[in-house]
Amino acid sequence: MTPTAPAPAPALAYLTRTQERALALTIAVVTANAYYIHPIIGDVARGFGVGEAQIGLVPALNQLALALGILLLLPLGDFASNRKLCLIFVAAQTACLGGMVIAPNFALFTAASTLLGFVTIAPYLIPAFASKRVAPERLGQVTAQLTAAVIFGILVARVGAGVVAARTDWHTVYVGAFVLMLAVTAFLPFAMKSEATSPKHPPAGYGALIASVFTLAAKHPDMRLSAAMQGLNFAIFTASWLALSLHLTGPEMGYGTDDVGLLAAITAISVVTTPRIGRWADRVGPRRARIAAACVQFAGIALYYPLGFSIWAVLVPLFLTNLVGPSIDVTGRMTLFALAPDIRTRLTTSYIVIMFIGGAIGSAAGTAVFEWGGWGATCGLLLAMSSAVVALAFHAERRWRRAQEG
| Higher pLDDT pick, 101 / 275 | 101
> pLDDT band for position 11 (50/70/90)?
low
Cβ neighbourhood burial of 252 (10 Å; 0-12, 13-18, 19+):
exposed
> Would the pLDDT of 240 be above 90?
no
Of 88-97, 193-202, 339-348, 366-375, minimum mean pLDDT range: 193-202
The pLDDT assigned to 302 comes to 96
The pLDDT assigned to 67 comes to 83
Structural domain spans, the chain: 16-199, 202-406
> Would the pLDDT of 195 be above 60?
no
Q: 16-199 with 202-406: one CATH topology? A: yes
Mean pLDDT (the chain) is 82
Smallest Cα–Cα separation from 385: which of 237, 256, 282?
Answer: 237
The pLDDT assigned to 273 comes to 76
> Would the pLDDT of 1 be above 50?
no
- Helix orientation angle between 139-167 and 17-32, rounded to the nearest 10 degrees: 40
Superfamily name and number for 202-406: MFS general substrate transporter like domains (1.20.1250.20)
- For the entire predicted model, the pTM comes to 0.72
- The answer to whether 132 and 193 are in contact (CB under 8 A) is no
The pLDDT assigned to 8 comes to 45
Return the CATH architecture of domain 16-199. Answer: Up-down Bundle (1.20)
**Cα-trace Rg, the chain:** 22
> pLDDT band for position 3 (50/70/90)?
very low
What average pLDDT score do residues 211-236 get? 89
One-letter amino acid at 131 equals S
> Would the pLDDT of 258 be above 70?
no
Rounded CA gap, 378 and 389, in Å?
17
For the chain, first and last CA: distance in Å?
44
Of 95-109, 241-255, 273-287, minimum mean pLDDT range: 241-255
The pLDDT assigned to 119 comes to 94
Which helix H or strand E contains 138, and what residues bound it?
A: none
The pLDDT assigned to 280 comes to 84
| Higher pLDDT pick, 90 / 53 | 90
| Higher pLDDT pick, 41 / 305 | 305
| Higher pLDDT pick, 278 / 22 | 22
| Higher pLDDT pick, 10 / 245 | 245
- The answer to whether 29 and 151 are in contact (CB under 8 A) is no
The pLDDT assigned to 254 comes to 77
Contacts of 60 by beta carbon, 8 Å cutoff, 6+ apart: none
> Would the pLDDT of 4 be above 60?
no
> pLDDT band for position 220 (50/70/90)?
confident
> Would the pLDDT of 231 be above 80?
yes
How do residues 26-39 score in pLDDT, each as one tens digit?
999 999 998 887 76
The pLDDT assigned to 401 comes to 87
Rounded CA gap, 87 and 94, in Å?
11
> pLDDT band for position 5 (50/70/90)?
very low
3-state SS assignment for residue 290: helix
The pLDDT assigned to 12 comes to 60
> Would the pLDDT of 383 be above 50?
yes
The pLDDT assigned to 211 comes to 87
The pLDDT assigned to 141 comes to 76
How do residues 265-296 score in pLDDT, each as one tens digit?
666 777 677 777 777 888 888 889 999 999 99
Please report the sign of the dihedral spanned by the C-alpha atoms of residue 186, residue 30, residue 336, residue 19.
positive
> Would the pLDDT of 52 be above 60?
no
> pLDDT band for position 46 (50/70/90)?
confident
